[in-house]
Structure 1
Amino acid sequence: MLADSRQGLFYAGYGAILTPSFGIVAAYGDNVKELNNALGFFMIIFALVFLVASLPTNLVYIIIFFTVELGFLLIAASYFAVADGHAGASIALKKGGGAFCFLSGLAGWYLEFALLLKDSIIELPLGDTSRFFAKSRKTE
């Protein structure tokens, strides 16, 4: 649930960037190349932070954020392609990014079903990875 809230805040931030009344896009003026590069880096860094943070949880979260990272990398690459004047490549990259984000959505639905069924008859496996990232504790 918390990860979903953070994803929602990402999209709220992305929406704020694109909202004309905030003036962020207007601040770039005619320099569309810089705007597209900034949007690309915004997406890459955001998704990478979530991917690293998901490592000690379970495989489903890792799959979700790995596919989001790949999707955002392709979408960011599409922004970089537009910045370099390659509109055709940009469209293909956005379609590829959308495909990976769709796969992330499917993994998200699996996670949601696993959480809903957690206390019922069926328990879906999530692949706990916390044992690989156990913190060492000092004993006094």
Structure 2
Amino acid sequence: MSEITDIEKGPVAIESDTGPKIHRVHTSGQNNEIVHLGDTAVERDELIAALGLPFPSEPPAHGIRIGNPSPLGFAAFGLCSFVMGMLNFGVRGVELPMTLVGLCFFYGGLMQTVVAVMELIVGNTFGVIGFGSYAAFFFSYGAILTPSFGITESYGKDEHQFANAVGIYLLGWCVFSFMMWTITLRTTIELCFMFTCITLSFVLAAAAEFTGDIATKKAGGIVTILIGFTGWYLAYCEFCKTVPEIFYFRPRMTPMPGAPKTH
């Protein structure tokens, strides 16, 4: 017991704390659920409840690492465009485009749909709109080419009306591609070039359907072949950017003038 002096009341006796002193606090257990206060061990939840503290929320689970889906999307778009361009140009005398149906459904359509969903997860809005929309294009174009859908047969023998209908269909995609092209003006030269070719190819393809001109169709085929090579190049660049340690040759995309710098 000790004594202190109060100015108003005089000497006042106080009792000193003779209880055990806590020199160390640590935790144990698989999830640190045991708290050691000196020589005393208590459950963490019991201690929190005794002190009247709010219970902490559960720690967030480790995030799942999502790979870069863009290389797959560009590769699918590039291959389908290359084959379509070769067929439209009439390479080796091939006129019927039925071999394109499988690519349209399973690579250009299905795979780009998967890519669009993954782009949504990683937060790439441009990728969602671009890959998702062109996946729908390949699905729908494959449906036009597939006899079981009955689209071509529904026009009967009126080939002129069918050609005009396909031309209008392609013209709609031309407008959409032009909109996407305006967005690429502040991205990279390679991406802007590809969307320039995409827009031009739809213009030429629609014009070929409206006029029936073979030369216009072949010109559209050449542009579409360029789209294929550009798509493959972009796929390679994106792949290199994702895992640069496995590539000897590492091409880089060139930013457009005025494009924001990326690190």
Range into which the TM-score falls when normalised by the shorter chain? 0.7 to 0.9
Partner of 2:137: 10
The DSSP-based 3-state class of the residue aligned with 1:50 is helix
Q: SS of 2:135's equivalent?
A: helix
* 8 Å CA contact retained: 2:144, 2:151: yes
1:64 paired residue among 187, 194, 207: 194
Q: CA deviation at 1:28?
A: 1.4
Q: Does 1:45 align with 2:178?
A: no
- Matching of residues 15-34 of structure 1 within 5 Å: 15-34=142-161
Structure-2-length-normalised TM-score: 0.42
Task: Determine which of 99, 109, 118 is the counterpart of 2:222.
Answer: 99
Extract structure 1 runs of 4+ deviating beyond 3 A. Answer: 2-6, 128-132
Shift of 1:103: 1.2
Could you say what secondary structure the match of 1:24 adopts?
Answer: coil
Q: Percent identity?
A: 30
Contact 1:78 1:93 survives alignment (8 Å): yes
SS of residue matched to 2:241: coil
Residue by residue over 1:23-43, the C-alpha shift from the partner in whole angstroms, topping out at 9 and shown as x without a partner, is 111221222111101111211
Unaligned runs of 5+ in 2: 1-72, 74-115, 117-129
| Partner AA of 1:75 in structure 2 | A
Which AA in structure 2 matches 1:113?
Y
Q: 1:11 to 1:5 in 2, by over 3 A?
A: same
Residues 123 and 36 of structure 1: CA distance in aligned 2, closer, same or farther (over 3 Å): same
User: 3-state DSSP class of the match of 2:255?
Assistant: coil
**2:205 is the counterpart of 1:75:** yes
User: CA shift at 1:5, angstroms?
Assistant: 5.0
Over residues 54-75 of structure 1, what are the superposed CA-to-partner deviations in whole Å (9 max), with x where a residue is unaligned? 4334233221121022112112
Once the two structures are TM-superposed, the CA of residue 126 in structure 1 deviates from its matched residue by: 4.0
Q: Secondary structure at the match of 2:198?
A: helix
The CA distance in 1 between the partners of 2:177 and 2:210, in whole Å, is: 22
User: Are residues 1:124 and 2:246 paired?
Assistant: no
Unpaired segments ≥5 residues, structure 1 = 83-89, 133-140
Structure with greater helix share of residues: 1
Alpha-carbon spacing, 1:30–1:106, altered in 2? closer, same or farther (3 Å): same
1:101/1:93 CA distance change after superposition, 3 Å: same
Q: Number of residue pairs matched?
A: 125
Q: Which has the higher strand share?
A: 2
Counterpart Cα distance in 2 of 1:41 and 1:94? 15
Cα 1:130/1:56, change in 2 over 3 Å: farther
In the superposition, the TM-score normalised over structure 1's length comes to: 0.73
Q: CA RMSD in A?
A: 2.5
Amino acid of the residue matched to residue 241 of structure 2? K
Letter paired with 1:77: A
Higher RCO (CA-CA < 8 Å; seq separation 6+): 1
